[in-house]
């Protein structure tokens, strides 16, 4: 059996579905897709001969089957990125159409644009998992709109609330995070500037070529090349970090509420222990927290790399690639495991009532139901 995407820990930490969209084969497919779009766009604006396009297309079709990601990874070491060996091989395979390969571009144009494609692919999975976790939280909120339980502040019982309001709060945070992520990812544009970001190598077609290139890939058009202006990457890192944090909140609550002494919720398929048969561990919530805990450090790495010097960064750009891939996997893992956790969460109202009776805090959660209705009523599908 082949190793699962994300390695041995991928399924455990929920990262396997996202990792499958970010592996070496996915990178190669994205790089080749970008090169194809660039060749087609260049032919459309008249920078290269349209008769050369079929040669490039045939070369790409052959290379998709022949290229080994492991070989390209080794070949990338000499030039500092995998675009250089891919473009070299593509030119060799294109024969008489070699002049239509990589027209007017620099390696960063292809690398950044391929990364945008990969981010889009990976966040489809992340959006699906976090969206389904939010839906599960919404169902819990509706079902337990009026189920009383103790609110807890600073770890102690405070006043009564309802489990519906707790779950509605989870739902609101998850919805907000995923909507922001969708907006940020949807705004990521094509990258095309040439060697120094001036479009000199594609003169006089540069701006038009950049626009057609974007249209070929279904990406937003750029305003100007953003080789060393990395605010978009920072926004993406922040959105992914917030999404991971939004997943960590309900996962943390589930871990605490399922403790033996509390016992107010439990997962549908709790995990066991290798030495204690009585254990019923909330493993999905635990591993959601584990994945989410990785995100802040990766966000910090991407923000720290924002100071790209001059017109091409020596190091900060390269540091983005593994950090962003890992961050996508961490956030995706948190969403996937939370989806499992909340999708099968079992609520124990009788235990909530018993625990609430332990103190004399009293009171009635008068507006809890109204707040639940307000939160759920604002959801797009409501």
Catalytic site residue 273? yes
Q: Supply the DSSP symbol for 200.
A: G
Alpha helices in the chain (DSSP H): 16-19, 24-45, 53-66, 69-79, 83-94, 107-143, 163-186, 206-217, 231-257, 283-304, 316-343, 349-356, 368-377
The H-or-E segment that residue 266 falls in is strand 265-266
Concatenated DSSP letters for 80-123?
TSTHHHHHHHHHHHHGGGGGGSSTT--HHHHHHHHHHHHHHHHH
Of these residues, 64, 273, 354, 374, which one is catalytic?
Answer: 273
Q: Which is it for strands 265-266 and 346-347: parallel, antiparallel or unpaired? A: antiparallel
SS3 state of residue 153 = strand
Beta-ladder partners of 152: 157
- Residues in CB range of 220: below 8 A, 6 or more apart: 186, 187, 188, 189, 190, 214
- Residues in CB range of 50: below 8 A, 6 or more apart: 43
Of these residues, 88, 91, 312, 379, which one is catalytic?
Answer: 312
Q: Rounded to an integer, what distance in angstroms lies between the CA atom of residue 290 and that of residue 268?
A: 19
Q: Rounded to an integer, what distance in angstroms lies between the CA atom of residue 227 and that of residue 313?
A: 8
Please report how many Cα atoms fall inside a 13 Å half-sphere around the Cα of residue 300, on the Cβ side. Answer: 5
Q: Rounded to an integer, what distance in angstroms lies between the CA atom of residue 212 and that of residue 85?
A: 25
Contact by Cβ (8 Å): 338, 247: yes
Contact by Cβ (8 Å): 376, 173: no
Catalytic site residue 312? yes
Catalytic residues, by residue number, are 273, 312
């Amino acid at each position: 059996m082949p190793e699962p995407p994300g390695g041995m820990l991928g399924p455990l930490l929920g990262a396997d579905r996202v990792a499958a969209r970010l592996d070496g084969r996915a990178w190669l497919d994205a790089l080749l897709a970008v090169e194809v779009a660039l060749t087609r766009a260049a032919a459309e604006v008249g920078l290269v001969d349209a008769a050369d396009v079929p040669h490039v297309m045939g070369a790409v079709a052959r290379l998709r089957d022949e290229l080994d990601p492991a070989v390209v990874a080794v070949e990338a070491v000499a030039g500092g990125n995998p675009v250089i060996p891919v473009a070299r091989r593509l030119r060799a395979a294109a024969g008489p159409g070699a002049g239509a390969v990589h027209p007017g571009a620099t390696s960063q144009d292809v690398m950044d644009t391929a990364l945008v494609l990969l981010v889009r692919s990976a966040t489809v999975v992340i959006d699906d998992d976090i969206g389904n976790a939010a839906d599960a939280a919404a169902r819990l909120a509706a079902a337990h709109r009026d189920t009383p339980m103790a609110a807890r502040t600073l770890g102690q019982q405070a006043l009564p609330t309802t489990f519906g309001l707790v779950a509605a709060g989870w739902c609101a945070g998850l919805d907000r995070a995923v909507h922001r992520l969708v907006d940020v990812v949807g705004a990521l544009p094509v990258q095309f500037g040439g060697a120094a970001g001036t479009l000199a190598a594609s003169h006089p077609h540069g701006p038009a070529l950049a626009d057609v290139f974007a249209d070929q890939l279904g990406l937003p058009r750029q305003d100007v090349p953003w080789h060393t202006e990395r605010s978009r990457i920072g926004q993406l890192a922040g959105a992914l970090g917030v999404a991971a944090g939004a997943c960590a909140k309900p996962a943390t609550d589930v871990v605490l509420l399922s403790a033996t002494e509390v016992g107010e919720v439990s997962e549908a398929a709790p995990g066991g222990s290798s030495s204690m048969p009585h254990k019923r561990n909330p493993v999905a919530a635990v591993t959601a927290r584990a994945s989410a805990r990785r995100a802040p450090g990766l966000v910090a790495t991407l923000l720290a790399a924002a100071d790209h010097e001059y017109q091409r960064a020596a190091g900060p750009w390269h540091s983005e690639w593994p950090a962003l891939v890992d961050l996508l996997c961490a956030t995706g893992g948190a969403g996937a495991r939370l989806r499992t956790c909340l999708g099968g969460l079992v609520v124990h109202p009788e235990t909530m009532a018993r625990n609430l009776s332990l103190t004399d805090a009293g009171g009635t959660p008068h507006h809890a139901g109204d707040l639940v209705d307000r939160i759920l009523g604002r959801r797009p599908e409501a």
